[in-house]
């Protein structure tokens, strides 16, 4: 289980860190250690990781983690922000393209496969259609979004739990 985001306090409350937020809510009280370019928490049945490589290089950490823990790509779950979903939607998907998401592009390139699970957290798109998406994802949540985040993160944790019980 890999939550995508950017390390550093600068990005902590940005839309691109939705994957980190969901993992934090799901695995908030577990002890972490640094391994394979990620902060890692292990349980008896799963490994939870937050890559520390920045979004565009997430695949480096994911590949290293899959190798280290002997996890095939089809059992890998990636939790990430998705601008193609309205804010607050949470959807699970297996395989598929990257939809321009740089973290997914990096993971696909390093795994050599799109055959992994995704928990997609909708962040919506900028209100101004001409606003650059790369800036939008690195901006803080709006006040309205921030207020709704606990519910969104709770739904993402429910989907994560469901996947863990299925795989």
- 16 catalytic? Reply is yes
Q: pLDDT above 70 covers what percent of the chain?
A: 97
- Reported pTM: 0.94
pLDDT value at residue 28: 64
pLDDT value at residue 56: 93
Write down the domain spans for the chain: 2-166
Non-local (6+) Cβ contacts of 88 within 8 A are 122, 148, 151, 152
Q: How far apart are CA 156 and CA 111, in angstroms?
A: 24
pLDDT tens by residue, 48-89? 999 999 999 999 999 999 999 999 999 999 999 999 999 999
pLDDT tens by residue, 107-119? 999 999 999 999 9
Annotated catalytic residue: which of 13, 16, 94, 101? 16
When the candidates are 1.10.760.10, 3.30.465.10, 3.40.50.720, 3.40.50.1470, the CATH number that belongs to 2-166 is 3.40.50.1470
Q: What percent of the residues of the chain are helix, what percent strand, and what percent coil, each to the nearest 5?
A: 45, 20, 35
Helix axes 58-69, 102-111, angle to 10 degrees: 40
């Amino acid at each position: 289980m890999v939550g995508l985001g950017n390390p550093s306090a600068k990005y902590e409350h940005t839309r691109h860190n939705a994957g980190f937020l969901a993992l934090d809510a799901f695995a908030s009280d577990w002890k972490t250690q640094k391994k394979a370019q990620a902060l890692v928490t292990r349980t008896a049945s799963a490994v939870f990781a937050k890559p520390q490589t920045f979004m565009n290089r997430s695949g480096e950490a994911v590949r290293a983690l899959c190798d280290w823990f002997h996890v095939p790509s089809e059992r890998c779950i990636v939790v990430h922000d998705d601008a193609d979903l309205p804010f607050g939607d949470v959807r699970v998907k297996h395989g598929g393209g990257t939809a321009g998401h740089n973290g997914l592009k990096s993971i696909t390139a390093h795994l050599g496969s799109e055959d992994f699970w995704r928990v997609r957290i909708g962040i919506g798109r900028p209100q101004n259609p001409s606003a650059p998406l790369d800036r939008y994802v690195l901006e803080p949540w709006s006040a309205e979004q921030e207020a709704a985040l606990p519910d969104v993160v709770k739904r993402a944790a429910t989907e994560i739990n469901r996947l863990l019980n299925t795989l």
